[in-house]
Structure 1
Amino acid sequence: MNTDVATPDTLSSSALPPRSLRATSRWVLFFAAIMGGFVYLSSTHESGTPYGGLSLLPAILILIVAVITKKPLESIFSGIVAGLLLLDPSSLITGLGDISMSVVMDETIAWIVLVCGMMGGLINMLERGGSVLSFGELLASRIKSKRATMLTTCTLGVMVFIDDYLNSLAVSASMKNLTDRYRISREKLAFLVDSTAAPVCILVPVSTWAVYFAALLEENGAASKGEGMSLYIEAIPYMAYGWIALMVVFLVAAGILGDIGPMKDAEMRAQAGQPVPDGCAQDGFDTGKLPKTHPVVGLMNFLLPMAVLVAASVYYEIDLLLGALVASLFTMILYFWQNLLSFGELVDAMLDGFKVMLHPIAVVCAGFMLKDVNDQLGMTPYIIESLTPWLSPALLPALVFAAMAAVVFATGSSWGVFVVSLPIVIPMAMSMNMSMPLTVGALLSASAFGSHACFFSDSTVLSSQGSGCTAMQHALTQIPYALIGAVITFAALLALGFAFA
C-alpha cells in the first residue's frame, strides 16, 4: 500500500507546470500575437489595392521560424497561415481548403509526387537487392582517400545530369557507405550532391530543366516557335551560377576551399566518429542480411536499372516519371529472375520507398501552397516593380538575378515563379535591347541558386533525404558556399551587363 502523504510543498511543486509546458505556452502566445498582427494588417489594408511591402511579410516570417525551429514544414505552414490571414482572416479555413485542393489537382504536383515516390521505391529496391552495396564496395576497392571519395561523388553528380531529382537520390544512396567509411559528414555528402544537381542540370540541354524552360521561353515571346531550345543553348555560357557553383563544389571536394561555419562543426563531428547527425536515424536495414551476388553481377544490377532509367527518360522526351516507371518494372523483373527478392518483397520495397518520401513530398507540396499565397499577395510583381526605377541595360542582368534569386529562395519554387515573372522580365529586356541569351542566363542562374540555397526547395529536401540528414542541417551547412557562388555570379553578370550594354 502506498503510504506517501502529500505535503503542502509537494502539492505546490506538482501544481506548477513543467518547464517544457511553460516554454510551449510562451511560444503559443508569441505566435498567436504574430498572427494577430497579420489580422490587424489585413483590417487596415484597403480592398482592391496592391499589398506592396506587406506581401514580403509571410516569407520573412518563414525564414525567422525556420531559424528558430529548424523545421521546414512547420515554417512553411506558418507562412501560409500568415499570408491567408493577411488576405482575408474570415476565410482562413476555406482558403486553406481551396489552395490545398488546387495544389493536389495541379499536374506539376501530381508529377512530383509520383516521381519522388517511384524514385524512392526504385532506390529502396536497389538497396534491398544488394546492388547499391555492391556498387559501394566496388568503389571502395578503388578509392583510398577522403579526397578521392568526395571528388568521385561530384563526378557522379555531373554524370547524372538528366534531372536533379535523380541526382539527389541516386548519387547519395550509392555513396553513403563510402563517405561514412572515410568519416565524411552526411551534411557534406548532401552539399556535394546538391551542388551537382540543379547547377549542373541547367547547363545541359538534355535535361528536364532545359525542356521546361525552353517551352516557357517560346510561350513568353523570347523565342519563336521551335526556337526555344536554341535560345536556351545560346544562354548556357551566361548561366553563371551553374558554372560557379560547380567550381566551388570541386574546390571543396579537392580540399582547396575549406569547411566554413556549420559545415566545419559537422565535419569535426564526423571525424570524431559520428558522420550521421543527431536526430537522424541510421539506414533502416541490416546490410549483413542483404542478398549476396558476385561483385560484377551486383554492379550490373545497379548500373542496368540506372541506364534504363536514363534511356527511358530520354526516349519519352525527358520525362522522368515514365523513365522511373520503366526502370522500376525492369528492376522488379531483373531481381525476381535472379531470386534476389520475392515478388512480395519487391512490392514492399516499392511501398516502403514511397513512404520514406512522404515527408519530402509534403514539404514540396507546402512550398507550392506558399507560392499560391504569394501569387495572391503579388509578391513577385512587387519585387520586380520595386527594382524597375533602378534598371538600366547594364544593370538589368545582375538585378534580375538578385530579384529572382530572392523570390525563388523565399518561395522554394524554382520553376513556378517564372510563369509569373517571365511575362514581365522578357518584355523589359526587349524594350532595353538587352541580349536575350544573357537575360535568360541571369534568370536560370537565379533559378538554380534558389533551388540550391532554399531550405525547403525540392532539390534541398531530396538531397538531405537521400544523404541521411534533415533539410535544415543540410541548408545551414550549405548556405555559406551558395552565398559565395551568388556574390561571384552577381559580379560576373554585372560585368557582362556593362560589356553588352
Structure 2
Amino acid sequence: MHNQIKAGLLLFLFCCIPFLANSTVQIASNKSGKLKVEFPTIIVSDIPTEIAISMDTTSVNDSVWIQVNQESIHAEIENQQILFHHVFTGKQKISIKVQDKQFSKIIHPIPLWLSILPPLIAILMALFFKEVYSALFIGLFSGTLIIYSYQEASLFTAFFKALFAISDTYLLQSLANSDHIAIILFSMLIGGMVNVITKNGGMQGIVNLLSKFAKSPRSGQFISWLLGILIFFDDYANTLIVGNTMRPVSDRLKISREKLAYIVDSTAAPVVSIAMITTWIGIELSYIQAAATQINIDESPYSIFLNSLPTRFYSFFTLFFILMLILMKKDFGPMLKAEQKCRQSSSSTDVANKESESEELKDLEIEENTPTRWYNAGIPVLIVIFGTFAGLLYTGWNQDVWNNPNLEFGTKLSHIIGNSNSYLALLWSSLSAVVVAIGLSVIQRILSLTKAVEALVSGFKTMLTAILILVLAWALADITKDMHTAEFISNLLIASNFSPLLLPTFTFILSALIAFSTGSSWGTMAILYPLILPASWAVCHSSGMNDIESMNIFYITVSAILAGSVLGDHCSPISDTTILSSLASSCNHIEHVRTQLPYALTVGSVAIFAGLLPAAYGVSSWILIPLGFILLYLIIRFFGKEVKLE
C-alpha cells in the first residue's frame, strides 16, 4: 500500500510540472500616476516587509525622505528604486507619499501564527497515517494554500494556484539549487557503490574474514558488533549485511535472534550518525547549510557537523552500551529472558519465529562461485574516506593559514576544512570509489561490465525514497522560510522565557517522539532542522548570550535533532531499519521491539542527564562521554545478570 502511495505521489508531482511552467510566483505591483509601488508576494504580519518605489526620474542622492501613513521615513535608493521596510500588524491601509505623488492600498498580511501550520500539519499527518511522504506533501499544500488564500479573492482560485505552486515553484526551486543536486548525486553514488561491492562479494569477504574469530557467544556478539562498526557508510547496508550473514553463526553459538537483531539495529544508525562519510552526511549538511544561511552564519556546514560530533551522546553511548553488555556477558529485562531461553534450547532456531525473506534480503544474494575477497569492498570504502578528506583539504586550502606559525596544527586543519567545499569533496570521492569498485569487479571477471552497471543502477534505486523525502523536505523548508515559521517559534520561546540551556534536551525529546511516531529518522530531521536551528539561535541571543555561547547551543541542538531521531527510530515498531533488522536476523518483529526498547530508553536517559543537560551548561564532552560510559557500566553491573551457557 505504501509503495502505491509513493508511486502515485511521484507520478502526480512530475505530471504537474509541464503544464504549470508559467505560474511562478510574481511580484505584485501597483501604480498611481507616475508612482509605482511594489510589494513582495508573501506579506506576513509582524515581520518587516521590504517595499520598493519606482519613479520616472532618477534621484542623484543615495537616500530620500518619504511619508508612510503620515510618518516620515529616511529610505535608501538602490538600483533606481526607493527601498524601505514596513511592519504590518494586521489588515490595514498603507499610504505612501513621495514629493507630490501619493499611493494607497489595503494590505491583508498573513497572520504570523499561521506559519506554524505547515510543519505542524506535516507532523500530525505523519503521526496519524504513519507515513512521511504524504505528510510532507500535505504540509506543503497547506502552506501554499495559506499563501494564496491571502492573495486571491476566490478560494477556488487559491486552491488550484496553491496546488500548482508546489510543483512549479517550491519543488523546482529546491531542485534548482546546485548544492541540493550535489547531495542527490552523492547519495545515489554511495548507494550504487554499496550494491556493487555487495554483488562482487567484497562485503561477504569482510564478514567471512571476521566471522572466523566467532567461537563463543561472547566472541560471536563481538564480531557482530565490530561488523556493525566497520560497515559505517549506510544503515540499510549495515542492517541487512550483518544480520543476514551473522545469523547462521549466531544460531550455531546459541545467541538469541533478539540479541542479534538488537546488535544489528543499534549499531546501524548510531555509527552512521557519527561517521563522517555516510549516506546521511549529505542530507544533514543540506539542512545545516539552510539554517546557517537563514541566520547568516559564515561557518561551513561541514565544520558545523564536525563541531557537533562530540555531543552526539546517544550514538556514542549506545555503541559503548552494546560493547559492555557483550564483554560483561550480562543482560537485563526481556533480553535476559530471551537469552536464557535460547541457551537452554537445542538451538536458537527453536525460539525464533522465522519471517519470509524480503526483497531487500534477496537483493543481497550473490551468485554462486562468486569469490569473496575483502579488498574488493575495502579499497572502494577507503577511497571514499581518504578521497573525501583529500577533497576537503584541496578545496579549502589556504597557504597563509598553513604557514602561520602562531596557529596549532589542529586549528590550521579546522580552518581549512571549515572553508572547504564539502559537496565537491563528497562527489569526487564517491565517483572515484564507484569507478574503482566497477573496475575491480570487471578486471577480476567477477562481474561483467553489464552486470556491474546493473548493480550500480540497482543501488541508485535504493536511494530514490530517501531522495523523495529530501526534495519534499527542501520544499517544505522553503515554505517555512517564506512564512517566517522560525521567527514565530523564536518569538514564542522568547515570550515564555524558555531557557536556551534546556533547548537541546527539549529538542532531543521532541525529535525522539516524532521519530517514534513516524518511524523515520530522516523525516524527523527534515521537519525539525529548518525550524529548531534558527529558533535556537534567536532564543540564545534574546537571552543575552554572545555568538560563541550561542554557537555552543547551536552545535548541541544540531546533535540533539539527529540523536533524538535515532532514539525514536530504535523504539518505533514501524521504523524501516527496525523492521529490516528483524527480517535480516529472522527474529519475531514484536519480540525485537520489546527486547530493544528498555535498552534504548536506558541509554537515552543517560544521554540526557549525563550528556545534553550538562553540555548545555558548558561541561566539556571530554568529561561527559567518560561519565556516561561509567554510568552505563554501573547500570549493567548492578542490574544485569550473566547469561551462562549450559
C-alpha distance in 1 between matches for 2:283 and 2:172: 26
SS of the equivalent of 1:391 reads coil
Contact kept in structure 2, 1:401 and 1:442, CA below 8 Å:
no
- 2:609 is equivalent to residue 491 of structure 1: yes
Shift of 1:193: 0.6
Q: Of residues 178, 181, 188 in structure 1, which corresponds to 2:245? A: 178
Contact kept in structure 2, 1:84 and 1:373, CA below 8 Å:
yes
C-alpha distance in 2 between matches for 1:359 and 1:242: 24
Instruction: Write 1 or 2 for the structure with the bigger share of helix.
Output: 1
1:61 is matched with 125
More displaced stretch, 107-116 vs 447-456: 447-456
Contact kept in structure 1, 2:267 and 2:319, CA below 8 Å:
no
Relative distance call for 1:362 and 1:122 in structure 2 (3 A) is: same
Q: Of residues 424, 429, 437 in structure 2, which corresponds to 1:331? A: 437
- 2:545 is equivalent to residue 433 of structure 1: yes
Bigger relative CO (Cα 8 Å, ≥ 6 apart): 1
- 2:235 is equivalent to residue 168 of structure 1: yes
C-alpha distance in 1 between matches for 2:359 and 2:568: 23
SS of the equivalent of 1:283 reads helix
Contact kept in structure 2, 1:453 and 1:479, CA below 8 Å:
no
Unaligned runs of 5+ in 2: 2-90, 92-107, 150-157, 252-256, 343-347, 393-421, 620-646
Tell me which structure has the larger Cα radius of gyration: 2
| Equivalent residue letter for 1:193 | A
C-alpha distance in 2 between matches for 1:210 and 1:90: 33
Contact kept in structure 1, 2:381 and 2:433, CA below 8 Å:
yes
Contact kept in structure 2, 1:124 and 1:349, CA below 8 Å:
yes
| Equivalent residue letter for 2:562 | A
Contact kept in structure 2, 1:393 and 1:432, CA below 8 Å:
no
1:28 is matched with none
C-alpha distance in 1 between matches for 2:177 and 2:576: 20
Question: What TM-score, normalized to structure 2?
Answer: 0.54
Shift of 1:423: 4.5
Q: Calculate the aligned-residue CA RMSD, in Å.
A: 4.9
SS of the equivalent of 2:359 reads coil
SS of the equivalent of 1:123 reads helix
Question: What TM-score, normalized to structure 1?
Answer: 0.67
Relative distance call for 1:292 and 1:119 in structure 2 (3 A) is: same
Shift of 1:65: 1.0
Contact kept in structure 2, 1:121 and 1:352, CA below 8 Å:
yes
Shift of 1:301: 1.8
SS of the equivalent of 1:350 reads helix
Relative distance call for 1:225 and 1:178 in structure 2 (3 A) is: closer
Unaligned runs of 5+ in 1: 1-19, 21-44
Shift of 1:465: 6.8
Aligned residue-pair number: 434
Deviations 1:41-95 (A, max 9, x none): xxxx9851131664523311211210xxxx4434544544455555556144213
C-alpha distance in 2 between matches for 1:117 and 1:232: 21
Q: How does 1:32-47 map to 2 (within 5 A)?
A: 47=109
Relative distance call for 1:121 and 1:467 in structure 2 (3 A) is: farther
More displaced stretch, 374-383 vs 473-482: 473-482
C-alpha distance in 1 between matches for 2:469 and 2:453: 25
Q: How does 1:387-426 map to 2 (within 5 A)?
A: 387-388=493-494, 389-392=496-499, 395=502, 397-399=504-506, 412=523, 414=525, 418=529, 421-426=532-537
Q: Of residues 264, 275, 289 in structure 2, which corresponds to 1:201? A: 275
Q: How does 1:203-242 map to 2 (within 5 A)?
A: 229=303, 237-242=310-315
| Equivalent residue letter for 2:444 | Q
SS of the equivalent of 2:361 reads coil
Shift of 1:337: 1.3
2:395 is matched with none
Shift of 1:124: 2.0
SS of the equivalent of 1:196 reads helix
C-alpha distance in 2 between matches for 1:78 and 1:194: 28
C-alpha distance in 2 between matches for 1:217 and 1:375: 10
Deviations 1:125-158 (A, max 9, x none): 2222222222222222222355544433443444
Q: How does 1:2-81 map to 2 (within 5 A)?
A: 47-49=109-111, 50-51=113-114, 54-55=117-118, 56-66=120-130, 71-81=131-141
Q: How does 1:285-296 map to 2 (within 5 A)?
A: 287=365, 289-293=367-371
| Equivalent residue letter for 1:324 | S
More displaced stretch, 57-66 vs 370-379: 370-379
Q: Of residues 335, 357, 362 in structure 2, which corresponds to 1:284? A: 362
- 2:198 is equivalent to residue 131 of structure 1: no
1:303 is matched with 378
1:142 is matched with 213
